[in-house]
Amino acid sequence: MSEVKMLTEFYHLPEYQTLAGYKAKGGYETLHKAFKMQPQAIIDEVKASGLRGRGGAGFPTGMKWGFLPKNGEPRYLLCNADEGEPGTFKDRMMMERAPHQLIEGMIISAFAIGSHKGYIYVRGEYVFPIECLNKAIKEAYAAGLLGKNILGSGFDFDLDVYRGAGAYICGEETGMISSLEGLKGQPKLKPPFPAVQGYLRKPTIVNNVETLAAVTYIIKDGAQAYRKHGTEKSAGTKLFSLSGNVMTPGNFEVPLGYPLMDLIMKEGGGMKPGRKLKAVIPGGSSAPVLTAEEVAKANLDYESLAGLGTMLGSGAVIVIDDSQCMVDMLGVLTHFYAHESCGQCTPCREGTGWLNKVLHSILEGRGRLQDIDLLIKVADNMKGKTICALSDAAALPVLSFVTKFRDEFEFYVREGRSKVKGTTYAEMHH
């Protein structure tokens, strides 16, 4: 096992959820250290650590913080805990097992950027994580770790949990800000970027749960210690949500740059008996699929996966074995994106619907061979033409599935049934 437990070291202890249990393992000690530092020194340390956004975009965290204007305006720190990407479930575990780890990371980050108000935006379905967070926040207020003059430092910080209503689009930072403002959860045009004009038109930093939790460890041990793990451009450890056709699915913390095949075979216990690896979606449902041959070359870092034409994304590794029909799986994805499009941009509103209709006509035995090229044409017309990346998120799986497994699509059109399962769509979903 090559797990490096920086964040998840004590996740197996039930008491780690509580303030007493967290403190027993050194919790909030780093906060004392941070309050003795200059805010700019904390930002510089985070920059030097090479920490990149763990929610999917992989943008350097310290650089993002550096975009905040040096004016006296109030600023906000928002934690993106929407986690709507199919296949991703690491933030949920972090909030359930270690809510104080996130809170400490948020207080340190808020101190660094000069924010006195923070929100944790959690997707509505996460009922238990929300309970865990609210309980932990209450404990932190009671212990003087939140509110006025924290630990006698003169620094004030208030924190609230905001519950979303279960919209995938609210995981996009500007869509999340709109929702937090009480508006329709729709993304906003950038620029202005949130760091300049975000929540309530004030400077705002939006970071993922895992990103903010990692800040504590960077300030505790220093940037160089953090950089001992990972690669030059992808530093540190990352939590990967491993699901699909493996023996032991779950969340695993490994250094960035870890071979994808090792994650599947060692951490994931390999394929089910008698099954062969067919494909892997390496970074959540919007990441282009990799064939088994490509998986053998892939490492789990931003650069390696970009080199293979896909992305690390949120770290959701979905393993597909040779019993799965790619046409049927793509049908699940196109339905999801058609349902989740906010409808603001025409290429996405119309495109996601068209992809879903065309694909389902193939699945239902009404497809024509030219429909396969039509899928590619529609997906091509959706890429890079909208306010946010949802349109691309719907188009990229279509392009990669159809290109890499075209024989399955052609067979489905000609025979009206799955090449792999031998059954029709109606028989599979009776």
Give the SS3 label for residue 38.
Answer: coil
331: domain CATH number? Answer: 1.20.1440.230
Q: How far is Cα 306 from Cα 303, in angstroms, rounded to an integer?
A: 5
Q: What pLDDT score was predicted for residue 80? A: 97
In angstroms, rounded to a whole number, what is the distance separating the alpha carbons of residues 161 and 138?
11
Sign of the CA dihedral running 268, 270, 272, 275:
positive
Is 382 within the bounds of a domain?
yes
Which CATH number does the domain housing residue 261 bear? 3.10.20.600
The neighbour count for residue 93, using CB atoms within 10 Å, is 17
Q: What pairs with residue 204 in β-bridges?
A: 76
DSSP secondary structure letters along 157-213: BEEEEEE--S-GGGGSHHHHHHHHTTS-S----SSSPTTTS-GGGS-EEEEEHHHHH
| Same-domain status, 330 and 300 | no
Is the peptide bond between 192 and the residue preceding it cis, with omega within 30 degrees of 0?
Answer: yes
Residues 240 and 116 in one domain: no
H helix or E strand, kind and range, residue 237: strand 237-244
| 250 and 381 fall within a common domain | no
The per-residue pLDDT for 249 is 98
Q: Look at residue 405 and tell me if it is in a domain.
A: yes
- What pLDDT is recorded for position 4? 79
Residue 26 Rama label (left phi>0; alpha psi -120 to 50; beta): left
Residue that terminates a domain, selected from 206, 228, 250: 228
Let me know if residue 9 belongs to a domain. Answer: no
State the Cα–Cα distance between residues 2 and 8, nearest whole angstrom. Answer: 13
Helix axis angle, 390-404 to 326-340, nearest 10° = 170
Q: In this structure, are 307 and 423 located in the same domain?
A: no
Given 228, 261, 293, which residue is the final one in a domain?
228
DSSP string, 124-144: TT-HHHHHHHHHHHHHHHHTT
Mean pLDDT by runs of 10 across the 430 residues of the chain is 83 97 98 97 97 91 95 95 95 98 98 98 96 98 98 97 94 96 95 95 97 97 95 94 97 97 97 96 95 97 95 96 97 97 96 98 96 97 94 96 98 96 88
Question: Helices 127-142 and 90-97, interaxial angle, to 10°?
Answer: 40
Range of the domain at 417: 326-429
Q: What gap in Å lies between CA 201 and CA 95, rounded to an integer? A: 28
- Looking at the structure, do residues 155 and 67 belong to the same domain, yes or no? yes
The answer to whether residues 373 and 356 belong to one domain is yes
Is residue 96 in a domain? yes
**For residue 70, what are its two tokens?**
């040096």
**Strand pairing report for 158-163 and 204-208:** unpaired
Q: How many C-beta atoms surround the C-beta of residue 237 within 10 A?
A: 24
Nearest to 51 by CA among 184, 186, 223: 223
Domain at 96, CATH number? 3.40.50.11540
Residues whose CB is less than 8 angstroms from the CB of residue 167 and which lie 6 or more positions away in sequence, other chains included: 84, 175, 179, 185, 340, 342
Same-domain pairing of 214 and 239: no
Q: What is the pLDDT of residue 2?
A: 64
140 and 96, same structural domain? yes
Q: Is residue 4 part of a domain?
A: no
Q: Which residues pair with 61 in a beta bridge?
A: none
Give the torsion sign (CA, 240, 308, 58, 40): positive
Q: Which residues contact 78 (CB under 8 A, 6 or more apart)?
A: 118, 119, 120, 121, 173, 176, 177, 180, 198, 199, 204, 205, 206, 207
In DSSP terms, which residues pair with 206 in a beta bridge?
Answer: 78
Strand 117-122, strand 158-163: pairing: parallel
The reply to whether 315 and 338 lie within a common domain is no
What is the total count of domains within the chain?
Answer: 3
Do 285 and 241 touch, CB atoms closer than 8 A?
Answer: no
Asked if the structure places residue 1 within a domain, the reply is: no
Boundary residue ending a domain (283, 301, 321): 321
Evaluate whether residue 13 is within a structural domain. Answer: no
Based on the domain organization, do 99 and 248 belong to the same domain? no
The residues, ordered by sequence, that sit 6+ positions from 324 with a Cβ below 8 Å of its Cβ are 245, 278, 420
Contact in structure between 79 and 120 (CB atoms under 8 Å)? yes
Alpha helices in 276-389 (DSSP H): 292-295, 302-307, 326-340, 346-363, 369-380
337 and 390 in contact (C-beta within 8 Å)? Answer: yes
Tokens 């046409």, located at residue:
327
Residue 399 lies in a domain: yes
Count of CB atoms situated within 10 Å of the CB of 21: 16
Q: Are residues 379 and 293 in the same domain?
A: no
151 & 237 share domain: no
